[in-house]
Structure 1
Amino acid sequence: MPQRQAGSEPCRTQVFQGGLAAALMRCLFFLSRLTPPLLLLLLCPLPVRAQAPTASAPSGTPGAQGCPEACACTAGGQANCSGRALPVVPAGLSWHVRRLLLDHNRVRALPPGAFVGAGALLRLDLRENGLRWVHARAFWGLSALQCLDLGANQLEALAPGTFAQLRALRNLSLADNRLARLEPATLGALPLLRALSLQNNELSELAPGVLADLPALGALGLRGNPWACGCALRPLCAWLRRHPRPAPETEALLCVSPGRLTLSPLAAFPDSAFSHCTQPLAARDLVVICSLGPVSFLASLAACLALGSVLAAWRARRRRRSAARRPPRRPPDPGSAPASPADLGRVAACART
């Protein structure tokens, strides 16, 4: 009896396997009668759904987290807002944005803190916006910014301290604007700035301290400006001699005034050509002179008052001493009568004899 039970187990297993095989065959026959598209959808739904987002990723994701709604952002941290007729800097900037493209829009002005929230920004492109006004604190908070393009706008002047906070800046373009003057306080001290584009503006000179605070500067775009070769251009000519340039670019830097120096190359002026120019006073010297002038005047006035007071006191004391040394005057005798004119005449007659 036990042997029969043990021998019947393989038989039951074979029966079960045979029934399962038959069921699988019936399922395959049923699936074979379905239409091919439906069959593919049933067999591989997951790969189709997984590939759909991958195909749309390169075009950017508008309105994603950390991305302005008017822009298209990518996973690399670029926010593309180019050519969207934006009148202001879009809101919603965050630390995820590394490159912000705002070129070919209508941003006419940059208010204070225009890029608040984008403290990790590395590149900012603001070309061709018709930009006319930039507040001195417009770029505050962008301490990591390395490249700033403000070219092809309508800037006529820049406030002092506009770029002073951009200590990591390496490339700055102010080309194709209307700048007539650039002060040292506008750029500030930019120790890492390597390239500065100033071509096609209305600059006739550069203030002496503009290039002094840019120790790493190696590329300077200057062509297309009405340079006046006077004493104010001495620092620029000295910088050009220390930084040789290609011949075509050097030949394009010409003076337009004064008359005797018209069309003279800027790089051809030696330092001896400015020997007639007086050395301008430094800002520290001006501060010392302006502070010493009023102080010295007040000191001399106080000294005069003190000396006059001492002299007046000395004279008064001298008068008192001389008055004390004089003998007192005797009062006239009340019993004596004044001499008459007859007596006076007899005295005179006696004197003659």
Structure 2
Amino acid sequence: MAGRPGPRGPLLPALVLVAAALSRPAAPCPFQCYCFGSPRLLLRCAPGAELRQPPRDVPADARNLTIVGANLTVLRAAAFAGGDGEPAGARVRLPLLAALRLTHNNIEVVEDGAFDGLPSLAALDLSHNPLRALGAGAFRGLPALRALRLDHALARGGPALLDALDAALAPLAELRRLGLAGNALRRLPPAALRPPRLEQLDARLNALAGLGPDELRALERDGGLAGPRLLLADNPLRCGCGARPLLAWLRNATGRVPDARRLRCAAPRAMLDRPLLDLDEARLRCAPGDAYGRGEEADVAGPELEASYVFFGLVLALIGLIFLMVLYLNRRGIQRWMRNLREACRDQMEGYHYRYEQDADPRRAPAPAAPAGSRATSPGSGL
């Protein structure tokens, strides 16, 4: 009996582990945020307009942070590393944070060094914010950033914001995915085409009329390496002579443009809604002195309209020839038909003439009918 293990013997290690876990202090979840997982794998903060700056009490072991629907307006330097306006060497408070989502937060200004102190950040989403100003060093503290989304965020900034974006993207050497959809861009920032490891560039829903030779060359990689995938659907492409470089590039790299079959012409009017890949490159001729394709509407529409008119004229000539042949082969019948028609018309006119003479002679006019109710009398009746 003394050597039999007691019933509580196997439970002792488990109780020790539970006690150790309970004794370990856990960092509290920020006010009005939701924390999921242990350690803090995901934090979601959606407090509406009450949150005007990033929460400062985010647990240090957080991996993913999402703030949606706040009113952040301005992201100042080191906003996630200790406070507003801290220098670039601010202390690291979130060393493990890998994903940061800041959509629909009414962010208008992102200052230099706004993301300093996030050395592990690999994915940043600033989509659906009305950005007006972006510091040239806004992303300087993100050496590990691989994915950046700026969809529907740059439309209000104008050309100055586009230039600032070009400077801000320059230091992102590890960037793999870049989202610029829905920003009314008329051209792509040069820095968006240069990251050496870029795998996908999303440029859908913009105002791109096409891509020039310099932009297409920037999409190629030295040493025969495959360039990034490019999404171009829902852009108002101008299918004139200026589209020749893009058309030639697409036919040689169709696999790098997954939505190539969805590319449609928006101008000139004669090419409206035609698939870009169906165009004949040989017909896209530029007028003399029009190297940029500003007058391609006449160049593109002219040959097609000329061919249409020639075809229409040939059809009319063929119909006229057939009609003349029918007339020639039936000339005797037509003459007989014309003679019969002339005689019928003459007989008809003679009948009208005879009746006219009869009606004009008063002696041959018929007696008027007696009124109703009157009695007929003879001449010798004396009445």
When normalised by structure 1's length, the TM-score is 0.55
Residue of structure 2 in register with 1:243 after alignment: 253
Instruction: Using the aligned pairs only, state the percent identity.
Output: 31
Q: Does residue 208 of structure 1 match 2:194? A: no
Distance 1:240 1:188, change over 3 A: closer
Could you tell me which of 160, 172, 190 is aligned with 1:166? 172
Counterparts in 2 of 1:96-135, with a 5 A limit?
96=95, 97-135=97-135
C-alpha deviations, 1:205-238, integer Å up to 9, x for none? 2233223223343422111111111333333223
Instruction: Give, in whole Å, the separation in 1 of the partners of 2:257 and 2:215.
Output: 24
What residue is the counterpart of 2:233 in the other structure? Answer: 223
CA distance in 1: counterparts of 2:227 and 2:170, whole angstroms: 16
Q: Which amino acid aligns with 2:67?
A: C
Counterpart-to-counterpart distance in 2, 1:258 and 1:237: 16
Aligned residue pairs total: 234
Please give the per-residue CA displacement for 1:314-336, whole angstroms capped at 9, x wherever unaligned.
xxxxxxxxxxxxxxxxxxxxxxx
Counterpart in the other structure of 1:335: none
Q: Which runs of 4+ in 1 moved over 6 A?
A: 277-281
3-state DSSP class of the match of 1:211? helix
Match of 1:24 in 2: none
Residues in 2 aligned to 1:147 and 1:243: alpha-carbon distance in whole angstroms? 24
SS in 1 for 2:254: coil
Distance 1:262 1:137 in 2: 42
User: Larger C-alpha radius of gyration, 1 or 2?
Assistant: 1
Task: Indicate whether 1:92 and 2:80 are aligned.
Answer: yes
With over 3 angstroms needed to count, the CA separation of the structure-2 counterparts of 1:250 and 1:165, relative to structure 1, is same
- Name the structure with the higher helix share: 1
The alpha-carbon deviation at position 83 of structure 1 amounts to: 3.3
Match of 2:278 in 1: 268
Residue 211 and residue 190 in structure 1: after superposition, are their counterparts in 2 closer, same or farther (change >3 A)? farther
| Structure 2 residue ranges without an equivalent (≥5) | 1-15, 28-36, 45-53, 82-91, 221-225, 293-383
Q: Corresponding residue for 2:148?
A: 148
What CA distance in whole angstroms lies between the structure 1 residues aligned with 2:59 and 2:69? 15
Query: Does the aligned pair in 1 maintain the 2:43–2:64 contact within 8 Å?
Result: no
Q: Per the alignment, do residues 50 and 240 of structure 1 end up closer, same or farther by CA in structure 2, a change over 3 Å counting?
A: farther
Residues 106/260 of structure 1: CA separation in 2 closer, same or farther (3 Å cut): same
Contact kept? 1:163, 1:188, Cα under 8 Å: no
The secondary structure found in structure 2 opposite 1:172 is strand
- 1:49 alignment counterpart: 22
Aligned position for 1:320: none
1:220 counterpart SS class: strand
Shift of 1:119: 4.1
Aligned partners of 2:257, 2:116: CA distance in 1, in Å? Answer: 44
For structure 1, the 5+ residue unaligned runs are 1-42, 63-67, 282-353
The structural deviation recorded for 1:76 is: 5.8
1:254 and 2:264 aligned: yes
What are the equivalent positions in structure 2 for 1:66-77 lying under 5 Å apart? 69-70=55-56, 72=58, 75=61, 77=63
1:73–1:80 contact (8 Å) kept in structure 2: no
| d(CA) in 2 for partners of 1:115, 1:140 | 8
Match of 1:293 in 2: none
Question: SS of the counterpart of 2:201?
Answer: strand
1:52–1:162 CA distance, 2 compared to 1 (3 A): closer
Structure 1 residues 132-173: Cα deviation after superposition (integer angstroms, max 9, x where no partner): 333333223433211000012243441043422212111000
How far is the alpha carbon of 1:59 from its aligned partner? 7.1
